[in-house]
Each structure stands twice: as structure tokens, then as C-alpha cells.
Amino acid sequence: MAVFEGNFTFNPQQLRFAIVIGRFNDLVTGKLLSGCQDCLKRHGIDVDPNGNQVDYAWVPGSFELPLVARQLAISGRYDAIICLGAIIRGQTPHFDYVASETAKGIAAIGFQTGIPVIFGVLTTDTMQQALERAGIKSNLGWQYGQDALEMAALMGQLRGLTPDYSQSDNKIVPALPVSSPGQLNPTAIPQQQSDPKNQS
């Protein structure tokens, strides 16, 4: 039998990532983003938004992270998606609704699509606690970048093992998309729709 483990010895130029960032508490999420970019860059990923390895999407707050991450995941373009947010407890139960829906939504996308989606969302009681985890003491953004690299490598290995279910009576429908994401599946890149008004 086998032991499966994501390694860091892959050819980094093959990988593609999307990072979705919540603007709410951007003092914190901006620092998480810097830490995450630093990690990816030091593992050989081109983090330039004009390059071809990392795309970025900004959303109003953590609650919107799952919707946009799902849209990116089903495009089939990415080996992993990283969601960055900071949910800080206030005086009302609002925190609990936002935190719970964000966590559930992010988990669901991974299950539904088979694309690893990293839960890079801080949930803290105070701004001080959030800042400590976003650069003052350590920067969890770095860790989230590393988690994305590991999961991209691991899921890449496991996809290579997908059996031929067509030969089996117990058909299992694989999660979407079944073809490899990233540059291994360039045909999955959505084509820009041309405006019919401009057509002659």
C-alpha cells in the first residue's frame, strides 16, 4: 500500500493559485496577504498579478469568500485556492453568523469541487489577537501559503490515482473538475465573451 503526502519538491512553475481576500479588517487581511505571497514567492511561485501563476480577488468581507472561491474553483484553472479573512468579535452575535457561514462555505467548496480551498480566516476576540497572528508575533498568512502548496501537491498525486470507474458496477462520480487544474488543463480557462453588439 502507500503513504500519500504533499511534498515541496515539485516544479513550482506548473502550479496556479487564486487568493481571495476580504477587505473587512484589511489592516489584518493585507498583512496575511503579504505573508502568504512571501511564502509562495520563496517556493518559486511568481506572485505578480500580471504573471500567470497567481490571481487575486478582493471581496467586501469574509462572508463573500466562499461564493467567489467557488466560482474560481469551478473554472478548473487552479491547483488550490486560498481564502484570507479576519473576523473579529464585536458586541453582538454577528461574529458567530459570519464565522460559521464562512467556515461552512469554504469547507463545502473543497468537497464539491475537489480543489483544495485553504481556510485562511482568523477568528479572534480582539484586533490585537488578530494582528499578533498577522505579523506582530507570527504571520499565519505564510502558513496558509504553505498549506496551499502542500495540498496542491497532495491532490495532484491523488488525482493521478483516479481509477477507471467506468469498469465498475459501483460508479463513484468524481468531484468537479476531474481533469487536472492549473496549466495542465489550459483548455479550462474561460474564454472572454465577445460583445455581440461589436460583431459585424
Asked whether the beta carbons of 77 and 16 are under 8 A apart, the reply is yes
Task: Sheet with 54-59: list strands edge to edge.
Answer: 54-59, 17-22, 80-88, 117-124
**Per CB under 6 A, 17 contacts ligand INI:** no
Question: Is 92 assigned to a binding site?
Answer: yes
Asked whether the beta carbons of 145 and 35 are under 8 A apart, the reply is yes
Sequence-separated (6 or more) residues with CB below 8 Å from residue 93: none
Spatial CA neighbour of 35 closest among 55, 50, 21: 21
Give catalytic status of residue 94 as yes or no: yes
Q: Which of residues 24-53 bind ligand INI (CB under 6 A)?
A: 24-25
**Per CB under 6 A, 56 contacts ligand INI:** no
Q: Which of 7, 8, 67, 94 is catalytic?
A: 94
**Per CB under 6 A, 69 contacts ligand INI:** no
**Per CB under 6 A, 61 contacts ligand INI:** yes
Question: Is 123 assigned to a binding site?
Answer: no
Residue 128 CA from chain centroid, whole number? 26
**Per CB under 6 A, 124 contacts ligand INI:** no
The residues carrying an active-site annotation are: 94
* Residues of this chain that bind ligand INI (CB under 6 A): 22, 24-25, 60-64, 85-88, 90, 94-95, 98
